């Protein structure tokens, strides 16, 4: 199958490149230019205050989502913590590790960010489960 029409070339900001219809190369998407998300956060009104506010709101969405999964009268603090850990490690950390692989990030990056979110979801689950009493 000839896929020469899919040749997207290589831009400064990275991207997918199909060469001769045979080779798919993933270039480093995180460097050298600023992506839309980075521009948004760097230009956010309120500086760090805006970043922390948005971070809090996104964490609140995560907690509400986890609460829907734990919406059972039998939910305890222990089960909440276990469910939070499983969601954090099994879905979030593994998903971030996959993205980090394609971005050619280090394992340290995956462990730090995936670990942080695993701990955050575990604590959210513990609080939500304990709150039910």
What band does 48 get if pLDDT is binned at 50, 70 and 90?
confident
Is the model's pLDDT at 31 over the cut of 60? no
Mean pLDDT across the stretch 3-16? 46
Does residue 11 or residue 102 have the better pLDDT? Answer: 102
Which residues sit opposite 16 in a β-bridge? 26
pTM over 0.75: no
How do residues 81-114 score in pLDDT, each as one tens digit? 999 999 999 999 999 999 999 999 999 999 999 9
């Amino acid at each position: 199958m000839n896929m020469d029409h899919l040749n997207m070339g290589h831009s400064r900001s990275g991207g997918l490149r199909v060469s001769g219809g045979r080779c798919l190369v993933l270039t480093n998407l995180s460097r050298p230019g600023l992506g839309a998300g980075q521009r948004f956060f760097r230009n956010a009104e309120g500086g760090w205050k805006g970043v922390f506010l948005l971070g809090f709101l996104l964490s609140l969405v995560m907690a509400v989502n986890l609460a829907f999964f734990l919406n059972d009268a039998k939910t305890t603090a222990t089960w909440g913590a276990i469910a939070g850990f499983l969601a954090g490690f099994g879905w979030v950390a593994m998903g971030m590790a996959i993205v980090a692989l394609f971005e050619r990030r280090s394992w340290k990056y995956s462990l730090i960010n995936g670990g942080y979110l695993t701990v955050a979801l575990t604590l959210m689950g513990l609080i939500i489960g304990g709150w039910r009493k």
